[in-house]
């Protein structure tokens, strides 16, 4: 949950930090039981968005230039929808790369909404902020990451419709079904490709509308892998078994999305790295959301560094960047 310093609730300045997440895959894109999507994902310790906020007569946003416009739009949208008599000044100290598959849009929206709620004593829940800002349309992983951290599994969106329809009628955030602490020793290698953005916005909506119906038997197959392999493997700290389950999701869902993103993975370079990791015998790897960011999970820091050095020697002329990080087992920090 969000942690707050009670002493600061009487001041006119608040600071928030929230971190990126991996979206490791959907497990029911068929929706025949009345719920569609269903996600598994992981909260990361870095990268993060950090911003400070205070009262202001008019909206002011300073700091990281690349996301000033986005943060300004989110803040103005909330101020208008909440009928706030006043505004805020926001200073962005750090930010999550945009359109990289790391959940920057959701974390930015929730961070801005939370500081506005705190400053104006609105007592908004994270789910309420998500709905006000249009987040959590398909996945609840980013919202649960903001609140709780850890490894997260959500139950998708309720449709109330038959299997042949793709139109969702429910506006509620996908419910969190399970949450686990991620093993402290495990390390995540991020493979970042800044040369192309992941699919987002209207292009994402169009992609989902154009994709064929997902096979019902395959959805059942993936649900079984989540319930009977990924979840117990994480409890038992069995990275190999956990990785096999993630690979089932990654391969089938990646191939399903291939017509929209140009292949199993959005970035050819990231795809080449992931193939190399597979050849090395790495069990857990994939693409986060629509990419282009790839990831791999290792038993410890030593294994992660060893594989990273081999990758750097193999991909000498690549424009890729790399980052080893921990998981984060707590939610956003508000002080």
3-state secondary structure 195-232: CCCCCCHHHHHHHHHHCCCCCHHHHHHHHHHHHHHHHH
Number of domains in the chain: 1
Q: Which domain holds residue 189?
A: 3-334
Mean pLDDT of 97-106: 95
The phi, psi pair for 185, rounded to 5°, reads -80, -25
Average the pLDDT over 39-61 and give the result.
Answer: 97
Specify the range with the lowest mean pLDDT, choosing from 9-23, 195-209, 314-328.
195-209
| pLDDT (0 to 100) of residue 45 | 98
Confidence at 8, pLDDT banded by 50, 70, 90: very low
Task: Tell me how far apart the alpha carbons of residues 25 and 225 are, in angstroms, rounded to a whole number.
Answer: 12
Q: Please state at what angle helix 201-210 crosses helix 239-261, rounded to 10 degrees.
A: 90
- Residue range 46-71: mean pLDDT, rounded: 95
149-171 average pLDDT score = 67
Q: How far is Cα 29 from Cα 38, in angstroms, rounded to an integer?
A: 8
Reported as type and span, the H/E element at residue 105 is helix 104-119
pLDDT at 35 over 50: yes
Give the pLDDT mean for 116-140.
95
CB 92 within 8 A of CB 62: yes
Tell me which residue of 269, 273, 321 sits closest to 97, measured CA to CA: 321
Say which range, 4-18, 68-82, 168-182, 201-215, has the weakest mean pLDDT.
4-18
Of 79-83, 136-140, 228-232, 305-309, which range is least confident? 136-140
The CATH number of whichever domain residue 45 belongs to comes to 3.30.230.120
The helix/strand/coil state of 28 is strand
Residue 83 clears pLDDT 80, i.e. is over it = yes
Cα distances (Å, whole numbers) of residue 29 to 211, 217, 290: 10, 11, 15
Q: Which helix (H) or strand (E) holds 17?
A: strand 13-28
- Residue 164: partners with Cβ closer than 8 Å, 6 or more residues away: 213
- How many whole angstroms separate alpha carbon 268 and alpha carbon 292? 9
Rounded distance, CA 270 to CA 274, Å? Answer: 6
pLDDT at 188 over 50: yes
Amino acid 280: pLDDT: 97
For residue 202, pLDDT over 90 is answered with: no
Q: Closest Cα to residue 158, out of 33, 59, 242, 42?
A: 33
Q: What is the pLDDT of residue 161?
A: 45
Average pLDDT over residues 101-117: 97
Which has more confidence, 112 or 203? 112
Kindly report, residue by residue over 265-314, the tens digit of the pLDDT: 999 999 999 999 999 999 999 999 999 999 999 999 999 999 999 999 99
Residues in CB range of 249: below 8 A, 6 or more apart: 24, 25, 26, 27, 40, 222, 225, 226, 286
Backbone angles phi, psi at 163, to 5 degrees: -65, -20
Question: Does the reported pTM lie above 0.85?
Answer: yes
pLDDT of residue 206: 79
Q: Where residue 200 falls among pLDDT bands split at 50, 70, 90?
A: low
pLDDT exceeds 70 at position 175? yes
pLDDT of residue 163: 36
Considering the chain, what is the average pLDDT of its residues?
Answer: 91
pLDDT for the residue numbered 64: 87
According to DSSP, the residues that pair with 35 across neighbouring strands are 158
End-to-end alpha carbon distance in the chain:
13
């Amino acid at each position: 949950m969000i942690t707050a310093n009670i002493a600061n609730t009487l001041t006119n300045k608040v600071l928030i930090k929230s971190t990126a997440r991996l979206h490791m895959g959907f497990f029911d894109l068929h929706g025949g039981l009345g719920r569609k999507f269903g996600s598994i994902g992981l909260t990361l310790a870095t990268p993060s968005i950090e911003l400070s906020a205070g009262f202001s007569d008019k909206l002011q946003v300073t700091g990281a230039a690349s996301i000033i416009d986005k943060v300004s739009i989110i803040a103005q949208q909330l101020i208008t929808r909440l009928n706030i008599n006043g505004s805020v000044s926001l200073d962005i100290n750090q930010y999550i790369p945009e359109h990289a598959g790391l959940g920057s849009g959701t974390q930015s929206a929730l961070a801005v909404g939370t500081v506005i709620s705190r400053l104006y004593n609105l007592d908004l829940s994270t789910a309420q902020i998500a709905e006000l800002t249009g987040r959590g349309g398909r996945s609840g992983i980013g919202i649960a990451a903001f609140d709780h951290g850890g490894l997260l599994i959500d139950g998708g969106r309720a449709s109330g419709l038959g299997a042949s329809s793709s139109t969702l009628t429910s506006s509620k955030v996908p419910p969190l079904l399970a949450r686990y602490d991620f093993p402290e020793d495990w390390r995540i290698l991020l493979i970042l490709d800044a040369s192309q953005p992941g699919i987002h916005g209207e292009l994402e909506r169009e992609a989902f509308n154009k994709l064929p119906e997902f096979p019902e038997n395959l959805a059942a197959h993936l649900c079984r892998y989540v319930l009977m392999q990924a979840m117990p493997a994480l409890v038992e700290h069995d990275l190999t078994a956990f990785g096999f389950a993630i690979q089932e999701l990654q391969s089938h869902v990646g191939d399903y999305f291939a017509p929209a993103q140009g292949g199993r993975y959005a970035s050819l370079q990231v795809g080449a790295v992931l193939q190399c990791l597979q050849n090395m015998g790495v069990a857990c790897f994939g693409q986060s959301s629509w990419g282009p960011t790839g990831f791999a999970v290792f038993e410890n820091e030593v294994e992660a560094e060893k594989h990273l050095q081999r990758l750097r020697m193999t991909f000498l002329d690549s424009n890729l960047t790399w980052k080893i990080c921990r998981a984060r087992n707590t939610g956003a920090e508000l002080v």
